[in-house]
Amino acid sequence: MKLKIKLGLFALLLVGVLLAATKGPVVTERTLSISKKEGVEDSLNAFDKMMTVLTHKRCVNCHPNDHIPKQGEDSHPHYFGMERGANNLGFEATNCTTCHQTENNPYSGVPGAPEWSLAPASMYWEGLNRIEIAKSMMDPERNGGRTPEETMHHLTEHELVLWAWEPGVNAEGVQRELPPVPKDEYIAAVKKWFKEGHVIPSK
């Protein structure tokens, strides 16, 4: 009888050990807290890197707050009195694509990329801080009705956006300034921020 009881207890103990082994590591409140904290920090770091690019003149020059495109490293108003006009492409006699083709012109210094145009008026970034820009680009009423996934694809795949890393030379033959973050790091940061829930910091 005693032998049967001992064998029964041993069997129960063995089952418990096997069950524990199949459950993997124990997740405690502390490990969850650490994991969550690391995720928030990763998201904030990604946000900072992304916004370092989006607040650079290569982006903001085409997101004016007064319907006048900016140009140059000092973001001065576009020459020849250019304004937004119809469909963000200037006016009939001074249409953006009259000069701006689908690629940079190395002789005249005129920059170019597919779908060259100003951002819609609702997407103005000039004068906004990084948090205000982030709120604007995530707001469907101001971002052209884009979903978060569509916004992510626009920021990482659109040829006009990626032109910022291939801006060519100006009229004097001087290379235009590149964004302060390499393209591959920027794309990775954008995707990381969206993956972590695209949380906009409060300050």
22-78 tens-digit pLDDT: 444 444 554 435 445 666 889 999 999 999 999 999 999 999 999 999 999 999 999
Q: In angstroms, rounded to a whole number, what is the distance separating the alpha carbons of residues 112 and 99?
A: 8
Q: Is the pLDDT of residue 6 over 80?
A: no
User: Which residues face 70 on adjacent strands?
Assistant: 77
Of 28-32, 110-114, 131-135, where does mean pLDDT reach its minimum? 28-32
One-letter amino acid identity for 17? V
Q: Is the pLDDT of residue 170 over 80?
A: yes
- 2 vs 199, residue with greater confidence: 199
Work out the percent of the chain whose per-residue pLDDT is above 70: 78
Burial (0-12, 13-18, 19+ Cβ within 10 Å), 55: middle
The confidence band for 84, taking pLDDT boundaries of 50, 70 and 90, is confident
Q: In angstroms, rounded to a whole number, what is the distance separating the alpha carbons of residues 119 and 151?
A: 14
Q: In angstroms, rounded to a whole number, what is the distance separating the alpha carbons of residues 102 and 168?
A: 13
- pTM, whole model, 2 decimals? 0.79
Instruction: Name the token pair of 180.
Output: 């302060």
Place of tokens 């040829």: 159
- 31 vs 175, residue with greater confidence: 175
